[in-house]
Amino acid sequence: MNFQKICILGLGYIGLPTASTFATHGVNVVGVDINPHVIETLQGGSIHIHEPGLRGVVESALASGNLTISPKPEKADAFLIAVPTPFYEDKVGEYDGRKYRLADMRAVISATEAILPCLRKGNLVILESTSPPRTTVDLVKPILERSGLKAGIDFYLCYSPERVLPGQILRELIENARVVGGVTPESAKAGHALYATFVKGQIIETDATTAEMVKLMENTTRDVNIAIANEFSRLAEKFGVDVWEAISLANLHPRINILSPGPGVGGHCISVDPWFLVEAAPELTPLIYHARKVNDDQPYFVLGEVKRALGTLKDKKIAALGLAYKPDVDDLRESPAAEVIHLLQLEGAQVKAWEPFKPEAELKGIDMATDLNTAFKDADAILLLVKHTQFADFDPEDIATRTRARVAIDTVNAWNAEEWQKAGFRLVRLGVNKK
């Protein structure tokens, strides 16, 4: 199978690295996005997202002429869809008193419809967006078949989940094992052949719905495991235990691997994808539902920690460090840190947030500091919400000279209690209540 030209719809954290990697491996790629800012930025030779190494790969892909950027798809041998699949902000479903989020599949629908006029016999279409079970066969296939062509007969259709780790995307794109699920075995083979252009990890063929479930099961497992770690953090406080110590001791058991508690679960994947399973079968997913609730409620637990440290929050000035949903990335989507800040403000606290990976971020109702010292100015307390390396590496003696705050609250187990106490701080740690 020969793929000389492909179209990739959606040039975000997944689509742009994928498009530029195909291009640097000799494939002629048309990168498509509906956001004019994305188009202009890329056409101007720059990039709009932070991902280590990405700028260089995009630059060489553009310079080679193999990557072009366009607002519309063109006729090609294959089409990849990597558009967002969030949940609706303003709609919920309900089952047995449990309210759950609903998948917003509008971007997948419009991207699939945009391919329609370009679809030709022998083409391959791959959905990469994380999607509810059966999306490929029940949503994408009927749209594409409006062309008069039959999926699996006239064109190949696959689902292939993306499992890269932000911060490591370019390496993992190539090295990770990749699951390719076809609506027919021939479709899976075609998908396999396309990814073989650059994937060095194993490429495994299966059916489309299994491939969708694989992705959802992976992220749901992490969500449930983080939920139990978060519950352990609450229990540890009740029983006068250091949850981090208890977890590290429990993890000495050869078959136990408890994850880390924290201020909650964010990002576009783990805090979203489990809802796709709940929506698809609410009667079968009470555990998944409750894990989601535990993680969504964790910012309230952090609020309690801050009150434990400061008493009343009215007019207290707090320097909040980190807004990203995880360490060392600039992605603020579904950030639990933002949720914590909103809760603190509702209690009357004045919060200045500092996010070194996105200092210019505009988040509704959040007062962003322009640098660390501005965040520290007049602060009564420092609240660590994300374990960015630069925060974990803080020297408390140095921090003591930059702020009048003498209370530090660590929600991510980044700071050493003894060192911070020696530097004159009272350090309150999430999940730690050891007398």
Ligand X SMILES: NC(=O)c1ccc[n+]([C@@H]2O[C@H](COP(=O)([O-])OP(=O)(O)OC[C@H]3O[C@@H](n4cnc5c(N)ncnc54)[C@H](O)[C@@H]3O)[C@@H](O)[C@H]2O)c1
Shortest reach from residue 118's CB to ligand X, in Å: 13
Phi then psi for residue 361, to 5 deg, are -60, 145
Nearer to ligand X, 14 or 179 (CB): 14
* Sheet of strand 124-127, all strands in order from the earlier edge strand to the far edge: 67-70, 28-32, 5-9, 78-81, 124-127, 156-159, 178-182, 203-207
Residue found under tokens 């492909």: 6
Judged by beta carbon, residue 14 or residue 246, the one nearer ligand X is 14
**What number of CA atoms fall less than 13 Å from residue 64's CA on the CB side?**
19
Shortest CB 357 distance to ligand X, Å: 15
Alpha carbon distance 263, 109 (integer Å) = 34
In the complex, what is the shortest distance from the CB of residue 281 to ligand X, in angstroms, rounded to a whole number? Answer: 20
Quick one: angle between helices 54-64 and 15-24, nearest 10?
50
Tokens of 286: 């009470």
List helix spans (H) across 97-207. Answer: 106-115, 135, 141-145, 169-175, 185-195
Rounded to an integer, what distance in angstroms lies between the CA atom of residue 421 and that of residue 416? 9
Is 269 annotated in the active site?
A: yes
Question: Dihedral of CA 255/261/264/268: which sign?
Answer: negative
Exactly one of 215, 316, 352, 387 is catalytic; which is it?
A: 215
User: What are φ and ψ of residue 150, in 5° steps?
Assistant: -105, 130
Identified catalytic residue from 269, 316, 352, 387: 269
Residue with smaller CB distance to ligand X, 112 or 187? 112
User: Among residues 142 and 240, whose Cβ is nearest to ligand X?
Assistant: 142
Alpha helices (H) in 239-282, listed in sequence order: 243-250, 273-280
Q: Map residue 88 onto helix, strand or coil.
A: strand
Q: Report the nearest approach of ligand X to the CB of residue 81 (Å).
A: 8
Q: Which two tokens stand for residue 95?
A: 């089952």
> Which residue lies nearer to ligand X by CB, 128 or 237?
128
Give the nearest distance from C-beta 275 to ligand X in angstroms.
12
Rank residues 77 and 128 by Cβ distance to ligand X and give the closer one: 128
| CB distance 88 to 101 below 8 Å | yes
Active site residue 215: yes
| Helix 208-238 with 243-250: angle, nearest 10 deg | 130
Give the shortest CB-341-to-ligand X separation in angstroms.
22
Residue nearest to ligand X (CB): 12
Q: Given the rule CB under 6 A, which residues bind ligand X?
A: 9-15, 32-35, 38, 82-85, 107, 110-111, 114, 128-130, 162, 164, 166, 268-269
In the bound complex, what is the minimum distance in angstroms from residue 41's beta carbon to ligand X?
10
Report the alpha-carbon distance of residue 165 to residue 270 in Å, rounded. Answer: 12
Nearer to ligand X, 147 or 403 (CB): 147
Amino acid occupying residue 401: T
The residues annotated as belonging to the active site are: 215, 269
